[in-house]
Structure 1
Amino acid sequence: MKQENNAKAILAIAMKLSKPIAYLIILLVTYTMGYLIASSSSSPPPFSSISELTNLPNQLDHFRVTTRCSDRPVQPELVRQTILDRVFNSRSPYDNFPPPHVRDLLRTKRVKGWGSYGAVFDHLVRSVKPRIIIEVGTFLGASAIHMANLTRQLGLRTQILCVDDFRGWPGFRDRFKDIGMVNGDVLLLQQFMQNVVSFNFTESVLPVPFSSASALEKFCEWGIFGDLIEIDAGHDFNSAWADINRAYRILRPGGVLFGHDYFTAAANRGVHRAVTLFAQFHGLKVMVDGQHWVIDSS
């Protein structure tokens, strides 16, 4: 009843305006009312109001990525050296690791993740057979180490690039009190590297210690593309939307995007909304594998 009253009020105002504007408003009201009524018994619609629908182009301006990707993709066998040259002064970050001032603050292994051992990893590694995996959101490296183990078992020569600022989040040490800190610098990167060393994956797992936005844009400029890209960093809509769009630009033709936390209490306000809206825009299908979402671009 309230929706009907709102519609009548808008129509009354529209009739006082010039006919072209009135027709436009009537069209938008009709479309939105029909959409809301059809969706009332199902999940929340992607657009909750007529103003959100009509302002969508302006909203998406805030998430538009303009970086130009290189038209010369780096060959998979050269990706590792490209990262070493551009990020680490041509030396492996694992050389002489760990440094003396943090050695006693690291645990031999401290592997922790969420959804890091789901069947989706085995399914995708077997089907895609990736040469390059890009993981956006790594924390302590549980899923990266799991994927490295899977590729090793299959005899694949896969390079895994782990994009993370390795800062955690405010208050995360309340839950991870054993992660050290030196002069305010939390030792997430160092513990991640220690985990990689412990599992003997230093040749196949490489950290890229920057924000997802800056790292993915540089990959685009440098011509580094992934066959399999996992998005598991920020879980709010803005972060997930930005990461997915940037990652899609560096996905090799026929590659696969996937990520965790498709079903959460955030529902239509977080990852679920970003993934669904992205798939709608690009005419792609979202598949579900446990708690993971999967978008196959082929």
Structure 2
Amino acid sequence: MKEEQKQPLFQHHRRRVAAFTRKKFTKPAAYVILLLLSYFFGYLSAPSSNSQYDSPPVGPRIAQNRVTQDTAAADNDHYRFTTQCGAPVPSKLVRQTILDRLFNGTSPYDNFPPAHATTLLRKKKIKGWGSNGAVFENLIRKVQPKTIIEVGTFLGASAIHMAQLASGLGLKTQILCIDDFRGWPGFRDRVRDINMVNGDVLLLYQFMQNVVHENATESVLFVPFSSGSALQQLCEWGVFGDLIEVDAGHDFHSAWSDINRAYKLLRPDGGGVIFGHDYFTSADNKGVRRAVHLFARVHGLRVQIDGQHWVIHSP
């Protein structure tokens, strides 16, 4: 019954009770009747079933507990990178594994460049940031890597530099470059002379042209996919690295994901090194640096600094 229907009815019964009580009763039955009427009127005056008090509100402590549990579950999700890596592929088979898995067993540099792209490529267009820092030679001399994985390649400046350093030290090092070779919105405003064909900015072809120009086709292979999907797939294939450079997305979430996934690919026997660029940027502790320090704290590792690069040694 709605409130507007109850109110007139309630007032009507109150008048009847008042008239009823003005009479003089000598029989006990009258008092019983009066008691029953009082109970009935009390029921009519109670809040309706559709009132705001129909369901008791959740107490502050219960609500807080729910929020805390949900937050804890969400936080834990940020630390879960649960892909199971396959059995390690011997370093001498890494190159052929990539060729078989991605390129039908043949080198992607064969018959390069295709006719339609020949006139669109620069003979050499190598552009990078921090790609020749001392950190590369320091780490390659120390680790003596058989396999290097680079996350974020662009035009191949650091990959080619590492290939030259390894060759100069007499190492037979295979370098795997992970990049979707799409750049980022507006990058052509900063890097001129990169042609576009039907929306394709030709970054992959120019990267390949740079590798060919520097005679590094035997030591530098590419994995042309997003960093997340490529790192996960290498893990499942059992392709590990002795030295891994992370230099793709520079926001916190991208760097956090890349570092966690890449760390799983360090050689299982220990002694590998993961490192990356842009430790000191205008983003300060909101980007790469925040991701690096959080990762090190979670895993009980130490962060070392070499120029603009951060370095973490695996136990």
Report the equivalent of 1:254: 271
- Partner of 2:120: helix, strand, or coil? coil
Task: Write the letter of the residue equivalent to 1:157.
Answer: K
Report the equivalent of 1:80: 95
Q: Percent identity?
A: 69
Task: Write the letter of the residue equivalent to 1:209.
Answer: P
- The 3 A distance-change label for structure 1 pair 149 and 226 is same
Report the equivalent of 2:210: 195
> Do the aligned partners of 1:227 and 1:251 also contact (CA within 8 Å) in 2?
yes
Aligned Cα root-mean-square deviation (Å): 2.1
Report the equivalent of 1:154: 169
Report the equivalent of 2:285: 268
- The 3 A distance-change label for structure 1 pair 106 and 296 is same
Q: Does 1:213 align with 2:228?
A: yes
Report the equivalent of 1:235: 250
Q: How does 1:1-298 map to 2 (within 5 A)?
A: 55=71, 58-62=74-78, 64-70=80-86, 72-252=87-267, 253-298=270-315
> Do the aligned partners of 1:196 and 1:202 also contact (CA within 8 Å) in 2?
yes
Q: 1:147-197: per-residue Cα shift (whole Å, max 9, x none)?
A: 000000000000000000000001111122311111111100000000000
In the TM superposition, what is the alpha-carbon distance from 1:67 to its structure 2 partner? 1.6
- Partner of 2:145: helix, strand, or coil? coil
Task: Write the letter of the residue equivalent to 1:58.
Answer: A
Computing the radius of gyration over CA atoms, which structure comes out larger, 1 or 2? 2
- The 3 A distance-change label for structure 1 pair 141 and 56 is farther
Partners of 1:108 and 1:227 lie apart in 2 by 32
Gaps of 5+ in 1: 1-15, 26-50
Q: 1:10-31: per-residue Cα shift (whole Å, max 9, x none)?
A: xxxxxx988xx9xx99xxxxxx
Provide TM-score, normalisation by structure 2: 0.77
In the TM superposition, what is the alpha-carbon distance from 1:65 to its structure 2 partner? 1.8
> Do the aligned partners of 1:63 and 1:242 also contact (CA within 8 Å) in 2?
no
Provide TM-score, normalisation by structure 1: 0.81
Aligned residues: 253
- Partner of 1:95: helix, strand, or coil? coil
Task: Write the letter of the residue equivalent to 1:270.
Answer: G
Task: Write the letter of the residue equivalent to 1:115.
Answer: G
Partners of 2:259 and 2:247 lie apart in 1 by 10
Task: Write the letter of the residue equivalent to 1:240.
Answer: A
In the TM superposition, what is the alpha-carbon distance from 1:57 to its structure 2 partner? 5.1
> Do the aligned partners of 1:133 and 1:226 also contact (CA within 8 Å) in 2?
yes
More strand by share: 1
Q: 1:27-51: per-residue Cα shift (whole Å, max 9, x none)?
A: xxxxxxxxxxxxxxxxxxxxxxxx9
- The 3 A distance-change label for structure 1 pair 283 and 235 is same
- Partner of 1:82: helix, strand, or coil? helix
Gaps of 5+ in 2: 1-58
Partners of 2:274 and 2:82 lie apart in 1 by 20
- The 3 A distance-change label for structure 1 pair 104 and 74 is same
